[in-house]
Structure 1
Amino acid sequence: MNLIRTDWHWLLLLCVGITALIILSRPLPPKDVYFAVGQEGSTFEMLGKKFIPYFEAEGVHLHLVNTQGSAKSLVDLADKGNAVNAALMIGGVADSGAYPGLRSLGSVEYAPLWLFYRGPEFHGPKPFAYFSTKQVSVGPSGSAAEIILRRILALSGISIEGRPNVLKIPNKDAISRLLSNEIDGVFIMDGFNSPNIQELLQHPDIHVLNFSYAPAYVKKLPYMSVVTIPKGSLDLNKAYPAEDIQMLASTVTLLIGKDMHPAVQSIFLLAAEKISNELDQFFAKPEFFPAYVDHAVAISPIAKRFYEGGRMPMLERLPVWLSSYIDRMWLILLGLLAVIYPIFRLLPSYRSKHSLMIIEDGYDEIQEIDQLSANTNNPDLLRKLLIRLEQLDKDTRDGWVSSEEKNRLYTMKGALNLVRNQVLSKLEKNASSINEN
């Protein structure tokens, strides 16, 4: 209590500093997160729905926002005035370094560029020339399929702009028209588990293009990979497909605003790991995803530590927001401890010096009063000196003095009592003289 009475201003400053540190470090995540998940029926939307329970378990409401595709999701995420603060995007849609305000949490699965078509199966070397006269959908403007297909065709000097047979319509509409024989083909960039993809794979009159030149295009488009549907893997009884089908593929990448709360990033990463392990990763080896594959957007420091195994196992049983906060702050806390501990060790020395200062100031005061009282017989001045002595006695009684200096304290009090008696004696003599006169 003496410490609080004498050095309350330092303790107040320490409390203010700790409070400011807690507020600025944002321990609690926001209650709402807005997640752009592309078109309805896509693998993006399906994945988005799988994230919801993990966020609900942490008390965060994850709102899914449908868009026309990866490009629109990217624009919404990059727009600071938009509520969207996370998005699923096809790797390669974002140009490298074009979005310094975004960060990547890694990719969660492969998304091939599928060409579903009806009619006789095509086995020739130039599929784009063959389908250039067919009615095909490439997805809405800004969709991943439309963007990636445009880049692939540009390598062969082909453009889809201004072609009346190339439709830019939502995937749901395109699939409906393909199944009703209104168009000949549909380009879709989506994961194997997408409801849209599964619907088309089950249809007996719909074929998947085998893109035999896929490895050559990967050399020109490094963010793309070659994936294969092995012969007979879709239906072993019917030996379907009859041969391996090669396709170009990118990855489904999880992007966030770089200022997203660290706890929210941790929820995304932990959920992505569990979801990826539960998914039927048709094109990837087990436990390959999540992984930082598309480097067009810089990886988040939180994700980098996650992939490098930097999390402390002891924190896994705590709520994500708390474990994330401890995980972020333990270095800062160690630094504070490195500063506070020496200060704590210095407290005995500080208390001793503080005690000596009280005693020395008391002696100075006593000496001054002693000199003044010796040189005066004025009763008013003597009474004022007596009041100063009483106040000094009270201050030293309430002061914070270490046990090592108690002897000096009481020696000083002895001097104080001696001077006080001298002042009282003078006052009594003055009073007697006045009475005699």
Structure 2
Amino acid sequence: MILSRQQRAPQFPHAYSVWRDHAWFWGAIVFLGMLTILLVVWLVEPAPPKTIVISAGPADGSFWPAANAYRKILARDGVTLKVLPSDGSLQNLHRLLDPKQHVDLALVQGGVAQGLDTSSLMSLGSVFYAPIVVLYRGGEIARLSQLNGKRIAIGREGSGTRVIALNLLKANGIVAGGAATLLPFDGQESARQLAAGQIDAAFFNGDSATRGLMLRLLQDPNVLALNFTQAAAYTRLFPYLNQIDLPAGVLDLGRNIPPATVHLISPMVELVARPNLHPAISDLLIEAAQEVHGMPGLLQRSGEFPSPIEHEYRISEDAARYYRSGKNFLYRNLPFWMASLVDRTLVLLIPMAVLFFPALRVLPALYRWRVRSRIYRWYGLLIAIEREALEHVTDEERDRLVKDLDHIEESVNQLKMPLAYADAFYVLREHVGFVRSRLSGEQRPA
């Protein structure tokens, strides 16, 4: 049974058909564009922060001036580096590992991470040596084990000096509570007590063994620097240590201090950061480290630091990329914040193009389907009328079919169609006439 007239010929707001087609098409494009932008913004790396925090070391050590040198260099590009004082490497490491501490990076010497899970941290590279210097009073000694029974300053709590000193002394049979007295002095306090003869020996290293301090102490003929004749053995037993030499006269050529080459052992200081450090900030920090530490010094050759050699912390992917190829084209040729803006814009546009333009190829097909679907609906009604007309129908039924066909023709004539689809519109009108001829029993000419 043919559908009722209301079902066969639903009324459409014909005057607005074309407008609605265009609104649907362009609305889909706008929606797709906004969705693409939201997805890309959500996935793309955020803008570089304007302020970052570094945990350095005590004010009288070598970490503090290094961090402040970074601060001045980063300020050129509008990045504020806040420098926090600390007791040394161990406290720096604990700050990085504590999510409640608002610290982005720190200077950390090797050998202090024992027992700590540092897998979440990354290194931007080694930046300088932190040599272990043992100064003592009295007759010349050749090994650390000869300090047993002495008063030894091993560094303050939380310092890398203390951690390494305890490890080295333990390897020589000297432990807390034994014959030796281990004292929590560091830096200037250790130097003062050693000069006054109140202690027998003191451990200094990178953040406390400054050139001025060592020169001042070694001017005293009763104070000597331990020559690590077993340096090769130490580097085998403690992989984070390196063997370096302090040449004769390097501290003072005129007075030949030290009077002979002193063999030292030394961990390296690394610039360690949390994994969420922005790539652009990583580049700036390595660039600053090259400027601060790249020159030749007492213990290093020109260009030796910063170094991407992996020690206790994995080298970050961004740092590895920088050491391979340097900064990208934008950051080399534009001011930092302009390069950051352009870089983020490009990162935003490329995924948009990948997602957006293929989708644009689908939308015209959907638009064509929407316009043609309005025509195809009438074809369904025409087919239904034609099939019923082929059956044996009464005159009354035929009159009803003619009225239905009149309604269809009237509705079709009121359709608003885009000019690009005028051919389909006129073919539909022609087919309406064809069905009418079948109903009236006329034969349509070939």
What is aligned with 2:142? 125
Query: 1:358 corresponds to which letter in structure 2?
Result: V
- The 1:185/1:323 distance shift into structure 2, 3 A limit, reads farther
- The 1:3/1:138 distance shift into structure 2, 3 A limit, reads farther
What is aligned with 2:133? 114
The question of whether the paired residues in 2 share the 8 Å contact of 1:36 and 1:73 is answered with yes
Pairing 1:256–2:273 present = yes
1:20 is aligned, of 39, 48, 63, to 39
- The 1:234/1:310 distance shift into structure 2, 3 A limit, reads closer
Q: Over residues 77-99 of structure 1, what are the superposed CA-to-partner deviations in whole Å (9 max), with x where a residue is unaligned?
A: 10111112211111121248821
Q: Over residues 239-260 of structure 1, what are the superposed CA-to-partner deviations in whole Å (9 max), with x where a residue is unaligned?
A: 3322111111011111111222
Q: How does 1:369-384 map to 2 (within 5 A)?
A: 375=400
CA distance in structure 1 between the aligned counterparts of 2:115 and 2:424, rounded to whole angstroms: 74
Pairing 1:72–2:91 present = yes
The unaligned stretches of length 5 or more in structure 1 are 423-437
Q: Over residues 48-68 of structure 1, what are the superposed CA-to-partner deviations in whole Å (9 max), with x where a residue is unaligned?
A: 101112332333321111121
Question: What is the TM-score of this pair, normalised by structure 2?
Answer: 0.75
- The 1:34/1:271 distance shift into structure 2, 3 A limit, reads same
The question of whether the paired residues in 2 share the 8 Å contact of 1:312 and 1:327 is answered with no
Q: Over residues 159-186 of structure 1, what are the superposed CA-to-partner deviations in whole Å (9 max), with x where a residue is unaligned?
A: 1446673211242322333344443432
What is aligned with 2:64? 45
- The 1:13/1:168 distance shift into structure 2, 3 A limit, reads same
- The 1:6/1:127 distance shift into structure 2, 3 A limit, reads closer
What is aligned with 2:286? 269
Question: What is the TM-score of this pair, normalised by structure 1?
Answer: 0.77
CA distance in structure 2 between the aligned counterparts of 1:114 and 1:301, rounded to whole angstroms: 34
Q: Is the deviation greater in 31-40 or in 106-115?
A: 31-40
Q: Secondary structure at the match of 1:112?
A: coil
1:408 is aligned, of 419, 423, 446, to 423
CA distance in structure 1 between the aligned counterparts of 2:251 and 2:26, rounded to whole angstroms: 77
Query: How much has 1:32 moved relative to structure 2?
Result: 2.8
- The 1:325/1:253 distance shift into structure 2, 3 A limit, reads farther
What is aligned with 2:323? 307
Q: Give 1 or 2 for the bigger CA radius of gyration.
A: 2
The question of whether the paired residues in 1 share the 8 Å contact of 2:186 and 2:204 is answered with no
- The 1:154/1:414 distance shift into structure 2, 3 A limit, reads same
What RMSD, in angstroms, separates the aligned Cα atoms of the two structures?
3.9
CA distance in structure 2 between the aligned counterparts of 1:276 and 1:156, rounded to whole angstroms: 33
Q: How many residues align?
A: 400
Q: Over residues 327-362 of structure 1, what are the superposed CA-to-partner deviations in whole Å (9 max), with x where a residue is unaligned?
A: 799789766655555555x46xx6367336514533
Q: Over residues 340-388 of structure 1, what are the superposed CA-to-partner deviations in whole Å (9 max), with x where a residue is unaligned?
A: 55555x46xx63673365145336448859979x848989x98998577
1:187 is aligned, of 203, 210, 216, to 203
Pairing 1:176–2:192 present = yes
- The 1:341/1:377 distance shift into structure 2, 3 A limit, reads closer
Q: Secondary structure at the match of 1:93?
A: coil
What is aligned with 1:354? 367
The unaligned stretches of length 5 or more in structure 2 are 1-18, 387-398, 437-446
Percent identity, aligned pairs only, is 23
Q: Is the deviation greater in 228-237 or in 217-226?
A: 228-237
- The 1:68/1:245 distance shift into structure 2, 3 A limit, reads same
- The 1:238/1:44 distance shift into structure 2, 3 A limit, reads same
The question of whether the paired residues in 2 share the 8 Å contact of 1:160 and 1:166 is answered with yes
CA distance in structure 1 between the aligned counterparts of 2:100 and 2:170, rounded to whole angstroms: 34
The question of whether the paired residues in 2 share the 8 Å contact of 1:92 and 1:223 is answered with yes
What is aligned with 2:306? 290
Query: 1:169 corresponds to which letter in structure 2?
Result: F
Q: Secondary structure at the match of 2:267?
A: strand
Q: Secondary structure at the match of 1:149?
A: helix
